[in-house]
Structure 1
Amino acid sequence: MNNYFRSHVDAMASYVPGEQPPRGTQIIKLNSNENPYPPSPVALAVLQNIDGERLRRYPEPFGEEFRQAASQVLGVPHDWIIVGNGSDELLNVVIRACAEPGRKVVYPMPTYVLYRTLTEAQAADITEIPYHEDYSFPLEELIAADGCVTFIASPNSPSGHVVSINDLRKLASQLSGVLVIDEAYTDFAQENALALVEEFENIIAIRTLSKGYSLAGLRLGFGVANPKLLQGLFKVKDSYNIDAIACAVGAAAITDQAYKNACVDKIKASRTQLATDLKKLGFRVWDSQTNFLLVQPPQRNAEYLYQKLKEQKILIRYFKQPELEDKLRITVGTDEQNHTLVQALSNLLETGD
């Protein structure tokens, strides 16, 4: 058989996303941190009224309609914003622009495993620094590693914790490379790092409309950074990476902050209740500033519970990797979905079957 691929591509493992059951499947899906509520009615109205002329022509190459809307909402200049086909594309753009063989990409573990996949595809060196057992931030180790790119997910997945602004500020000030602050879950958090972008030209804060805005299927993310940093990223992005529909719908969604905030408030309340219910069952539950919980079953039989729930058409996330083999990540669903999950777990813990 012919070998068509570069040696490091042959050697790397593919990123494995959460299971996606076929549409129409009767299942409680709590494995991919999707928002359980529908998108903004304003955004849906834009989608339903897309003009065919917008589809005939190429879209604006920099997603200007969305940049202008995000600029107004966030209070940052529009030329400080880069738009991507999901935030994952922007993570890839940073790696393509900055990383190469012999240069290090650094991040603490456990975290979003796509960082490793993207780095391996670029054949850059990887330095993974373990989080402390309590998920306290390994600041000095990250500074010492001094990567060409350092990824920090804040809030982090799967732990749900936020890295303090002071730690991020100190890290940025000591790095010679780019600091990527991945804020995919920032809509559910008490603070964010956007102000640091104005202080440091080596920081890019990356966000998504998949979580807080209920638009995971749209694939729209954006980054905020100094134009000096963006100019290099624009060189390697695809020419028309944002389609016209995503740009128009995303602009409407980010403008409807009242709707997004109402949904986020419901999720936060449900998160608190779900954590309380799981603790009553004996689970260890880590504090979370996201739309999911990291939990440890009382019998540490995480894989068993994951499989049994799947048989009952309830999907949660299990990671078979170091530090996570005895834990589960559970997306916060509607109160009804959460109640069904808790009842199923209670029965499994009681009967062992």
Structure 2
Amino acid sequence: MKKERKEIYLDKNENPYEPSKNIIKELENFDIESFRLFPNYSAKELDLAMANNLNIDKDNIISVNGMYEAFYSILNSFDNRKILLQEPYRDLYKNILEYSKISFETIKMKDDYNIDLDAFKKIKKSIIITSNPNAETGLYIENIEKYINNNNIYVLDESYISFAWDSAVRLIEKYNNIVIIYSIAHSHSLSGLNINFLISNKINIDKFSNIRQKYGINKLSETIAIASINDKETVLKNISSIVLERDKMETLLSKEGFLVLPSKTNFLLIKHPNKSSKYIYDELKKNSIFVKNYDESNVLKDFLRVTISDSKTNTILLKALYNIIN
């Protein structure tokens, strides 16, 4: 039975729609006896399913257990390079690096909250970590290829690329210094699996494969993920619904006076000229609506990040925001 929640959580960018019903069919036919045995060292069937889905070679992709393992595999594969985080960046990046006791520097964002791609030209022998669409602002980089050179390793977090349609996966055959972190959490309603994919040229993938943990993806997770990946119809339907709601919300929030950054994700970054983000956050919280806010040290401290949900939930949020600002 589905558990009803009184609170509305719009702070983690979770997909509001159910994942593929094909998952149920696969689990009903799951070989219980196989639980006696360890899973494969690597989830090769899952890697193949996603490779086919993205129309890339199976040697260009491996699955990993979440963002921590993704970072660990990448950063331990390239020696003697400075680590640079491109603002605005996910708190998770910083948390992983600090936990791992890895030092890093930041590349400042532009005044319009966009990534400063021009800064890339001056950097040498570094690992540049960024996201596209940006995982905090929702802004999409249209021309990132122009700023790629042979001096650096470029790590592109494409966790939200399914909502923007145009992935940099097409560049991995052209450049051997691009690593893409891909996700099915937000697009396939599978945040609970915590599965990511690393996509790059075969030499890099072999390096990552030697470093990542063995048995990283369990049998149930692999079965569930494959069933969902192969159900393209459900995934496309859910993504399309979110995109339609996102564009509608952007229009309605703008009419209410909010500054809304143009998003290519499943969330919106918003701020109001007359009400502080802290005030709006606290008032929403009183209404049991939770969105993401930023602390005073963050470059996005004046904003709130709001997950796009289904139409009913979005309407509740809009009414609450209307009452708060009026």
Structure 2 unaligned segments of length 5 or more: list them: none
Structure 1 317/48 Cα, relative in aligned 2: closer, same or farther at 3 Å?
Answer: farther
Q: Give the aligned partner of residue 262 of structure 1.
A: 237
- In 1, the alpha carbon distance for the partners of 2:125 and 2:280 equals 38
1:170 is aligned to 2:146: yes
Deviations 1:102-129 (A, max 9, x none): 7411121111122222223333331201
TM-score if structure 2 supplies the norm length? 0.93
Larger deviation, residues 237-246 vs 45-54: 45-54
- Contact 1:84–1:220 (8 Å) recurs in 2: yes
Question: Aligned residue for 2:83?
Answer: 105
Q: Choose which of 184, 188, 191 in structure 2 pairs with 1:209.
A: 184
**Counterpart residue number, 1:40:** 20
TM-score normalised to structure 1 length? 0.87
Paired with 1:339 and 1:91, the residues of 2 have a C-alpha distance of 37
Q: Tell me by how many angstroms 1:237 deviates.
A: 0.6
CA distance in structure 1 between the aligned counterparts of 2:217 and 2:148, rounded to whole angstroms: 29
CA shift at 1:88, angstroms?
A: 4.2
Deviations along 1:221-274, one digit per CA (max 9) or x if unpaired, are 112111101121112211111111111111111111111001011001100111
CA distance in 2 between counterparts of 1:258 and 1:149 reads 37
Distance between the aligned counterparts of 1:221 and 1:237, measured in 2? 12
Matching of residue 130 in structure 1 with residue 105 in structure 2: no
CA shift, 1:190, in A, is 3.6
Which segment drifts farther, 135-144 or 266-275? 135-144
The alignment yields a C-alpha RMSD, in angstroms, of 1.7
- Count, aligned residues: 323
Work out the CA distance in 1 between the residues paired with 2:155 and 2:228: 24
Contact persistence 1:105–1:148 (CA under 8 A): yes
Query: Contact conserved, 1:98 with 1:148, CA < 8 A, in 2?
Result: no
Identity %: 28
Maintained 8 Å contact 2:291/2:304 = yes
Which structure 2 residues correspond to residues 113-152 of structure 1 after superposition, within 5 A? Answer: 113-152=91-130
Counterpart of 2:169 (choices 159, 183, 194) is 194
1:225 aligns with 2:205: no
Residue equivalent to 1:275: 250
What pairs with 1:234-313 in structure 2 (closer than 5 Å)?
A: 234-313=209-288
1:200 and 1:303 map into 2 onto residues whose CA distance is 43
Residue equivalent to 2:54: 74
Shift of 1:34: 0.4
Matches of 2:66 and 2:212 in 1, distance apart? 13
Shift in Å, 1:87: 4.0
Equivalent position of 1:20 in the other structure: none
Once the two structures are superposed, residues 39-79 of structure 1 have per-residue CA deviations (whole angstroms, 9 ceiling, x without a partner) of 01112322344221232211111111111211221111112
CA drift at 1:143: 3.3
